[in-house]
Amino acid sequence: GIQVEQSPPDLILQEGANSTLRCNFSDSVNNLQWFHQNPWGQLINLFYIPSGTKQNGRLSATTVATERYSLLYISSSQTTDSGVYFCAKGGGATNKLIFGTGTLLAVQP
Amino acid sequence: DGGITQSPKYLFRKEGQNVTLSCEQNLNHDAMYWYRQDPGQGLRLIYYSQIVNDFQKGDIAEGYSVSREKKESFPLTVTSAQKNPTAFYLCASSIVGTAYEQYFGPGTRLTVT
């Protein structure tokens, strides 16, 4: 079955709006990462967050491992936030990552 | 600056040719990974290595081969046996273990015609 499920698949925002992206995952996790893929394809690490809450500027993330979900919050969105946001879970001896299909975010001026 | 480099950024090949993608890291990481991304999709694991001279198949290894002769380098060869080689290829590295953050290179876009 699907191991990592992201929602919504697409999101359009006006500049300045807030948003919440969700990641549901099956099984327990040792590693949960959020990435932003920019228009050139580069994957930028946003958070390593197997549990708890972290904040970095306008972005924050929360993982509730016992309920198998993680949330990424983007506040006061800017056009440079546009791109695809991926959640990926890892685990087991290899630490290989299993990716969701992403949320495509478009922030309009 | 520590990081992961991949070359070339774009690569064009004719069907039936093997092609090798380069991945180098100076993060002193023991574990390295190759992922493939198709349009509109997430990444899928091709091969991974946790130590020099050792590597394992990931979820979609057919038609690919790797080597790990040096800690810093993990080249990927896309062989003519790979049925759909056109894709975006990303290399990653991390500390060995069950729960360490992975870092990615800028990727190589391969087009085979």
Predicted local distance difference test score (pLDDT) of residue B1: 62
High-pLDDT (> 70) share of chain B, % = 98
Predicted local distance difference test score (pLDDT) of residue A103: 97
Chain-wide mean pLDDT for chain A? 93
pLDDT tens-place string over residues B67-83: 999 999 999 999 999 99
Predicted local distance difference test score (pLDDT) of residue A2: 64
Sequence-ordered alpha helix ranges (H) in A1-109? none
Predicted local distance difference test score (pLDDT) of residue A94: 75
Beta bridge partners of B75: none
How far from the centroid of its chain's Cα atoms is residue B63's Cα? 13
Mean pLDDT of B106-113: 95
Predicted local distance difference test score (pLDDT) of residue B100: 86
Chain A residues within 8 Å of chain B (Cβ atoms): 4, 30-31, 33, 35, 40-43, 45, 48, 50, 86, 88, 90-97, 99-102
- Dist. CA A94–CA A60, nearest whole Å: 27
* Band (B5; pLDDT cuts 50, 70, 90): very high
| Residues of chain B contacting residue A33, judged by C-beta atoms under 8 Å apart | 101-102
Q: Are B45 and A89 in contact (CB under 8 A)?
A: no
Predicted local distance difference test score (pLDDT) of residue B97: 77
Closest CA to B107 of B34, B57, B41, B58: B34
| Residues of chain A contacting residue B94, judged by C-beta atoms under 8 Å apart | 95
Predicted local distance difference test score (pLDDT) of residue B58: 94
Reply yes or no on whether the pLDDT at A1 is more than 70: no
Q: Pick from A42, A86, A101: which is nearest to B107 by CB?
A: A42
| Residues of chain A contacting residue B101, judged by C-beta atoms under 8 Å apart | 31, 33, 45, 48
Selected residue with higher pLDDT from A1 and B26 = B26
pLDDT tens-place string over residues A10-44: 999 999 999 999 999 988 777 899 999 998 899 99
- Dist. CA B6–CA B50, nearest whole Å: 19
* Beta strands A10-14 and A103-108, pairing class: parallel
Mean pLDDT of B29-34: 96
Q: Pick from B40, B88, B99: which is nearest to A41 by CB?
A: B88
High-pLDDT (> 70) share of chain A, % = 96
Predicted local distance difference test score (pLDDT) of residue B109: 96
Residues contacting residue A55 through CB under 8 Å, at least 6 positions apart: none
Beta bridge partners of A87: A34
**Upper half-sphere CA count for residue B85 (Cβ side, 13 Å):** 26
pLDDT tens-place string over residues B41-69: 889 999 999 999 999 999 999 999 999 99
Element of type H or E holding B87:
strand B87-94
Instruction: Judge whether B3 is closer than 8 Å to chain A, CB to CB.
Output: no
Instruction: Judge whether B27 is closer than 8 Å to chain A, CB to CB.
Output: no
For A81, phi then psi, to 5°, come to -80, -10
Look-up of token digits 């979900």: A69
Element of type H or E holding A48:
strand A43-48
Closest CA to A9 of A78, A74, A89, A87: A87
